[in-house]
Each structure stands twice: as structure tokens, then as C-alpha cells.
């Protein structure tokens, strides 16, 4: 946690300086390219690192192929009937 906080602190200091330098010189294209590059990098990391368990097709495929601990093919999400 400490390493992350120190990186955030450094970027909080450096970000306005770099932005002021780029915008002050009128390098708007560079600024746009930098923002797009950062956004695409974040999207790529999220796409490759996040789990895809919430995908409806993956859930359906998983429940169709897995069996419960008793060996039957009942869904693992809960009891087959909820009669109270």
C-alpha cells in the first residue's frame, strides 16, 4: 500500500507541471496523444487482467459442465426448488 501511495503522490505533483508545460507551449496534439495512450493502456490492462466470471455465456457454460459434490448435475447456484 505504501508503494502505491508514493506513486500517487509523485504523479499528483508531476501531472500539473507536465500538463502546464505541454499546454503552455501549445502542444495540444501531444497532450491528446498522451491522454489517449494512457486510456488505451488502462483499457488493455483491464481487458487482460480482469476476470470474466460475469459473462452470461461463461456462467451458462460453467453450470452446464460442472457437477455438484454428490455427482449429480444439479446447478451449483442453490437448491433446485425453494419450497418453504
Would residue 39 count as lying in a domain?
A: yes
**pLDDT tens by residue, the chain, 84 residues:** 678 788 889 989 998 998 888 888 888 888 889 889 999 999 998 888 876 666 667 666 666 555 555 555 555 555 555 555
Would residue 53 count as lying in a domain?
A: yes
Domain residues for the domain of 38 are 28-66
Would residue 76 count as lying in a domain?
A: no
Per the structure, the count of domains in the chain is 1
pTM here is 0.44
**Residue 33: C-alpha distances to residues 25, 27, 78 (Å):** 15, 10, 49
Give residue for cell 505533483: 13
| Structure confidence at residue 47 (pLDDT) | 86
Would residue 19 count as lying in a domain?
A: no
Between CA 62 and CA 45 the distance in angstroms is: 25
| Structure confidence at residue 61 (pLDDT) | 66
Amino acid at each position: 500500500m505504501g508503494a502505491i501511495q508514493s506513486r500517487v503522490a509523485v504523479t499528483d505533483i508531476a501531472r500539473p507541471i507536465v500538463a502546464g508545460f505541454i499546454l503552455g507551449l501549445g502542444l495540444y496534439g501531444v497532450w491528446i496523444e498522451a491522454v489517449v495512450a494512457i486510456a488505451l493502456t488502462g483499457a488493455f490492462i483491464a481487458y487482460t487482467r480482469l476476470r470474466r466470471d460475469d459473462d452470461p455465456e461463461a456462467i451458462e457454460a460453467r453450470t452446464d459442465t460442472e457437477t455438484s459434490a454428490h455427482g449429480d448435475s444439479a446447478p451449483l447456484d442453490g437448491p433446485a426448488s425453494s419450497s418453504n
